A = this chain, B = another copy of it.
Amino acid sequence: MSYDKAAFDAYIEANRKRFLKELGELIAIESVAADKRDTRPAAQWLKGRFEKLGAIVTLYELPDSESPVVMAEIGDGDKTLMIYDHYDVQPETPIELWDTPPFELVERDGLLYGRGVVDNKGELMVRIQTIENWLVTHGELPLKIRFVVEGEEEIGSLHLDHWAEEHRDILKADGCLWEGGGRDENDRISMAEGCKGIAYFELHVENAAYDLHSSLAPMVGNPAWRLVWALASMKDEQDNIIIDGYQDHVRGFSESLMQRIDQLPFNAERMKENLGITDWINGMTNAQAHRRHFTEPTMTISGFESGYTGVGTKTIVPAKAWCKLDFRLVPDLTPDLVEELVRNHLDKRGFTDIKIVRLAGEHPAMDPHDSDVKQAAIDACKETFGEEPLISPWFTGSGPLYPLSVMLDIPVISAGATWHPKARAHAPNENIFVKDYFDSMRFTAALFDIFGRS
């Protein structure tokens, strides 16, 4: 027996406005983990919201953190589904590029705007409100659900490895529904079974006690130049990472995985248009770019600052320079290994003055395999949207899949319908379609139903 779609849909229609108002409340909490702003109030708000559902809620404190893990358990059944989401968001900078205030949910032309609306507060509220809907329209849930909602995802889930290891016994589940599903450039529902890892560092260089008059440049070392030279020694102009020994740790992928990737549709022209670019790196073909997107480890300068960055001229040798480096990891790279390789590479070239500060680290989780939860997501997609989803072997971003799935041996699928190609995750004017928000509820209900019966 399938679930009662008519009743479910009627409840959505009757509660549309309140559902969005509730999402707006969560968006309004400035839970930016990067600067430890209001993450705890967001956790508290969620605790209240889960308790209104009748869930048993526990907040797990993490060391030196204002972002407790919110665990909420509700329902009963043979199957247990873990749901992973996060309540923290990326910083709203550059603030001047937002058309409306970042922490205000604004509906305009069929879209919902606000920081976190796609990543990941929207999807989290969809899942919570789906449960409310089910409980009202169907009574008991057809399965047991355990939410694990963290507040440090955007800063690399610093403590989740250790926390999951410690709570291994109470985290057992038959499958895990991950964040981040949605539509691709061809408007096809796209799911994923894993993700790349990440290592995030700052590099710092200092020299003089203060910014010096630049007439001294022939004699006195310039931290900005030091950092430029060090960076240029680590990635070449063709975008290859040339850190000593780095490529030795890139395992590569089986031919069958490569074929799966090649077979994923890729609307390159629409994507370029959405991103506002004209070419891929090195003038790659679309096929090359597509394969590289999935398989290549990255080393990204996400930020760089040195000296005078105001208007006009200031003639100084800066006293310091620093940058933010975001490495996306494929097997068998790990955060520890990357830090060690970078340190050795720099030291060998005399860059012992460059200090490395690690801000985040996550293992890659890129070994997909078949599972009930994946099949339930596929079937729920067919039932809800009348279409076969695309299944990527992994998504190209990162997340703590490793501690919550690979490490605990829980099959995982990232599936949903809120993401879309112009959603501007991490950027100004982050948005989702209103329609996708409510469609995603229907998909989630179908998934609960099918997985509960599987």
Contact = CB atoms under 8 A, between A and B. Distances in A.
Interface of A: 33-35, 90-91, 93-94, 97, 154-156, 196, 198, 200, 207-222, 224-225, 228-229, 231-232, 235, 237, 239, 275-277, 279-281, 284, 289-290, 292-296, 298-318, 321, 323-324, 326, 328, 349, 359-360, 395-398, 424-429
Given A229-B232, A301-B307, A308-B91, A313 B214 contact: no
Contacts of A222: 300-301
A178 B447 CA distance: 81
Which label, helix, strand, loop or mixed, suits the secondary structure of the A interface? Answer: mixed
A19 B217 CA distance: 35
Contacts of A216: 275, 293, 396
Most buried by B among A91, A284, A360: A91
Contact of A219 (B200, B210, B280): B280
Nearest to A292: B218
Contacts of A426: 211-214, 314-316
A231 B304 CA distance: 14
29 contacts: A34-B314, A35-B312, A90-B314, A90-B315, A91-B310, A154-B313, A155-B312, A156-B313, A200-B315, A207-B277, A211-B428, A213-B397, A213-B426, A216-B293, A218-B289, A218-B328, A219-B284, A224-B323, A228-B228, A229-B232, A231-B232, A301-B307, A302-B314, A304-B304, A305-B309, A307-B324, A308-B324, A314-B324, A316-B427
B316 A307 contact: no
Contacts of A289: 218-219
A275 to B, nearest CB: 5
Given A90-B314, A218-B292, A314-B426, A275 B237 contact: no
Given A218-B292, A315-B326, 18 more contacts: A34-B313, A35-B311, A93-B314, A210-B424, A213-B425, A214-B302, A214-B426, A215-B328, A218-B239, A221-B280, A224-B304, A229-B237, A300-B317, A301-B307, A301-B318, A304-B304, A305-B306, A316-B426
9 nearest CB pairs, A to B: A209-B276, A34-B312, A232-B232, A224-B301, A215-B397, A303-B307, A218-B296, A217-B298, A215-B396
